[in-house]
Amino acid sequence: MNSSHTSNESSATPSSKQEFDLGGAPHFAPPRNIRQVMLDVLIALIPGILAHVWYFGPWILVQILLCILFALPIEAIMLKLRKQALYPFLSDGSAIVTAVLFALCMPQLAPWWVSFIGMLFAIAIAKHLYGGLGHNRFNPAMVAYVAVIIAYPQVMAQWLPPHPLLGGDDLLLQLDRQQPGFMQGMWSILTGQMAIDLQWDSITQATPLDTLRQGATQNLLINEIRVSPIFGDFGGLGWEWIANWYFVGGVWLLYRQVISWHVPVATLASIVLLTLPFYLMDPDAHPFPLQHVFSGGIMLGAFFIATDPVSGSSTPLGKIIFGIGFAIITLLIRRWSSYPDGVAFAVLCMNMLAPLIDRYTRPRIYGHER
């Protein structure tokens, strides 16, 4: 067995021969590494992030920055406590990806401690307490999201209405809302209080999914609900475009072969196929399938969250089942629970089932019958 060392072990050592480095096959260095894979994921998120900034203002970038600034020191402390080397774990990019994904689920003006608690749950608890990179049983960003949505329900409901970079004042007038200035928004992030001359009620607006759900409980027809100007063609105004750009980023990830097609296709196909019959039966009471697809976090979930390799399924068929289950549970939560979107809970439920799914979806090995 060859092992990596450079000493010559044979007994008949020739006199002036060059000695070569020993190593096992294959001898080419693998072209890809983890940092590159994580970087690909971050690059794929950029279009969605830019769309977010376009529609909702720059504060999402502040949230992302805060999350990263909290995530890295927490990771460093956890590595030290676990007596692991800081290099290469601190620079492998996995904490940054977790931070960004979590930040993208935050309301724009959420106070800094929400991010901090979130990163504590994501990095310290969900990742390192389970064994660090490659060992987390649950998606760290979603563990964090679930923790903060349960701990800070009010804060997590304070979403800004869309205010596109070019000419978005009409919408605000229609909704009778104000757009906070940059510093006012920063004040709220840093202190959790709204600036003196503004009220939370005049800033925030229920999300499209939330509006849909409230309207459904009031037995309004879909068309009646969608009269509100916050709805766009498919999902919510602004949100549907962000989802669209997540889709573009996701397709790019497919092209880069970072993720495989199984989870996204299974998730989105399931959403469409499950909602289509209901829509066809009663278009007034059920949203058009694509409205579901472009609302909430399902697009981000399908390409970036349910595809988390560590906590997801290992086998191709298992990934499809994971995607289907993810879609079903999301829809169930959207329809019948008091939470507007079920992506986070759905992913965690499927994370729980992943080992079981893996066990029963092993591919047929070459030459074997089954």
We find the least distance from the C-beta atom of residue 45 to other proteins, in angstroms, to be: 18
Identify whether the C-beta of residue 47 lies closer than 8 Å to the C-beta of residue 247: no
Measured between alpha carbons, how far is residue 153 from residues 146, 295, 308 in Å?
Answer: 10, 20, 26
Identify whether the C-beta of residue 116 lies closer than 8 Å to the C-beta of residue 148: no
We find the least distance from the C-beta atom of residue 39 to other proteins, in angstroms, to be: 11
Nearer to other proteins, 168 or 312 (CB): 312
* DSSP, residue by residue, 153-188: TTGGG-PPPP--TTT-HHHHHHHT--PPPHHHHHHH
We find the least distance from the C-beta atom of residue 32 to other proteins, in angstroms, to be: 5
We find the least distance from the C-beta atom of residue 119 to other proteins, in angstroms, to be: 20
Nearer to other proteins, 106 or 350 (CB): 350
Nearer to other proteins, 283 or 309 (CB): 309
The CA radius of gyration of the chain, in Å to the nearest whole number, is 24
| Interatomic CA distance for residues 151 and 145, integer angstroms | 10
Annotate 246-266 with b (16+ C-beta within 10 A) or e (fewer).
bbebbebbbeeebbeebbbeb
Identify whether the C-beta of residue 307 lies closer than 8 Å to the C-beta of residue 318: no
We find the least distance from the C-beta atom of residue 319 to other proteins, in angstroms, to be: 8
The contact set with other proteins (CB under 8 A) reads: 1-3, 8-12, 14, 17-34, 36-37, 88-89, 92, 94, 132-135, 257-258, 260, 309-310, 312, 314-316, 319, 362-368
* DSSP, residue by residue, 34-50: HHHHHHHHHHHHHHHHH
Nearer to other proteins, 36 or 337 (CB): 36
Nearer to other proteins, 13 or 338 (CB): 13
Side chain identity at residue 345, one-letter code: F
We find the least distance from the C-beta atom of residue 80 to other proteins, in angstroms, to be: 18
Nearer to other proteins, 153 or 316 (CB): 316
At 328, phi and psi to the nearest 5?
-60, -50
